[in-house]
Structure 1
């Protein structure tokens, strides 16, 4: 299925379904280059079977984002879909970026899909060595007696707790299990190889622990599709994304006042990322992936890079 067909299915499902949940499953995205140079071409607006010829063309923000990349010596990847109009914004959408902790929202979605609510009340314990090995563990380190699987899932999304994430991954088959689950959605790009904190290690030119903006936007549409999760679990995931304590300086900071943002952030070294559902007061949701990395591997990540990118994209779609 071509990208216009994917867009049409997503728009139809979202407009006719629940405003923050009715999303259609995407088709497989094309193989993604590992280059870090030229901006990827925008999505084709050519019609395909089952689509109309009046689909809006991709909106070009390459000048604005190119200037931002030059100013902050960085590379920016964007894939955004306005589910009401079908409008698309893309910039380096097929290029590879490290995903860092944004992957956690998909791990938790897969847990919610696989594990019935009653089984999520299972009490899970760990050792001090587990906490130390995980690195960032604000929730699990504060609960040495353990937590339920449901509480670990919430901690992974809301607080980006690394040990909580590793325990969630363990329950769904580890990195390979999540990669296979995303592949079943049509994602041929995402490659999760390691658990936390090693999943933040990205070697230029290699696919391990990387994805593309296009793949993550398609994945987020897919996991919010009616039928992938129960309505209750979909609402639960979106609630946890609404309370994501680590995202205030990212897409939220770039969104216009009054727009709702449900997101999952990520960051390590020069990488700073956010995946989000952004809903204007009087419009349909926008599904948005922003993946960024500074060109200097020793440079710190830049929240500003994500926030300013979000502002450009949302203004273009507004």
Structure 2
């Protein structure tokens, strides 16, 4: 038979009342009453009912408790997120007083990696980054190459030498490895070494592009040493901000951009910086170790960025950037040291 053909069957309808009447005919009314009395007086049934009632109340209690716990957990999670946010310590009054004392402009950003507390003063104002870029360039070079590849010798001529090149000027005939060039750029702030780093990375533009890839959308790199130190107010060439520089340094020196061996090497070079003694180091509390990179330029620009390691706790990353209002102004090491002192004491 085709599936779409359905035979109609005649169904005999029976009254439900009649069925019920027929069923009741066979029931004993007295037995029904006895059954009711048995259910009422049976202790086992009474216990089962009590247990069922208890289990129902218990289940309701558990569900209510779980709901409350979920609610509390949500609140705790939000609180944890709040704890993870930076808590800024306001030292504006002291920094403003320091600016007046030195007739200068100060930019500060520091973050305590243990407490996540920060100290900030003009953190997003632009300053010439000067030679502080060298530690970032070396960090990028370490990131992009194996240690063995950095043993490659780079040659250069006397014509490549620029002002203040105490290390590279001694090796014109032999050249230097990229590791040696990186160390010279950081420890001695050798300007020719800084230029060789930039050239190896593909120039200032490629240096800037790499910073963009790690999250820095602020720093503008355009020139080589020593022209990059020639700052003009309102011009963004070769400038950055204290916040951007501190965050960049934190990523390379403490973060996971570099594997342990390379990160340790970068920190050792900074720890041995020969130009930083009168700067952040001078303002750090006794016993605190400072690994830094300094820089100087026109308009009395004097900068220092550092990883500061107090005893028995996580480090502090700090960027101090300063300048004056006249192009031929001399820089002030003491200004940087005092700004660092205020900052680090606030984070003690």
Query: TM-score, normalised to structure 2's length?
Result: 0.75
Residue-pair matches, total: 270
- Confirm or deny that 1:62 pairs with 2:92: yes
Any conservation in 2 of the 1:114–1:172 contact (CA below 8 Å)? Answer: no
Runs of 4+ in 1 over 4 A off after TM superposition: 47-50, 53-56
Deviations 1:38-82 (A, max 9, x none): xxxxxxxxx989713585631111111101101111000000001
- Confirm or deny that 1:266 pairs with 2:268: no
Deviations 1:241-271 (A, max 9, x none): 0000000000000001100100001112310
Q: 1:282: Cα distance to partner? A: 2.5
Aligned counterpart in structure 2 of residue 113 of structure 1, from 143, 148, 152: 143
What is the match of residue 47 of structure 2?
none
Per chain length, whose mean CA-contact separation is higher, i.e. which structure has more relative contact order (CA < 8 Å, sep 6+)? Answer: 1
Aligned counterpart in structure 2 of residue 251 of structure 1, from 280, 289, 293: 280
Distance 1:55 1:115 in 2: 34
What is the match of residue 103 of structure 1?
133
Distance 1:112 1:170 in 2: 15
Aligned counterpart in structure 1 of residue 165 of structure 2, from 137, 144, 153: 137
Any conservation in 2 of the 1:169–1:175 contact (CA below 8 Å)? Answer: yes
Aligned counterpart in structure 2 of residue 126 of structure 1, from 156, 166, 177: 156
Q: 1:126: Cα distance to partner? A: 1.2
**Equivalences for residues 13-32 of structure 1 within 5 A:** none
**Equivalences for residues 89-238 of structure 1 within 5 A:** 89-131=119-161, 134-145=162-173, 146-238=175-267
Q: Structure 2 unaligned segments of length 5 or more: list them.
A: 1-76
Larger mean CA deviation between 206-215 and 117-126 belongs to 117-126
Q: By percentage of residues, which structure has more helix?
A: 2
Distance 1:84 1:50 in 2: 15
Q: Structure 1 unaligned segments of length 5 or more: list them.
A: 1-46
Q: 1:224: Cα distance to partner? A: 3.1
- Confirm or deny that 1:281 pairs with 2:311: yes
Rg larger for: 2
- Pick closer, same or farther for the CA change 1:211–1:163 going to 2, 3 Å: same
Q: 1:144: Cα distance to partner? A: 2.0
Any conservation in 2 of the 1:192–1:209 contact (CA below 8 Å)? Answer: yes
Distance 1:210 1:49 in 2: 37
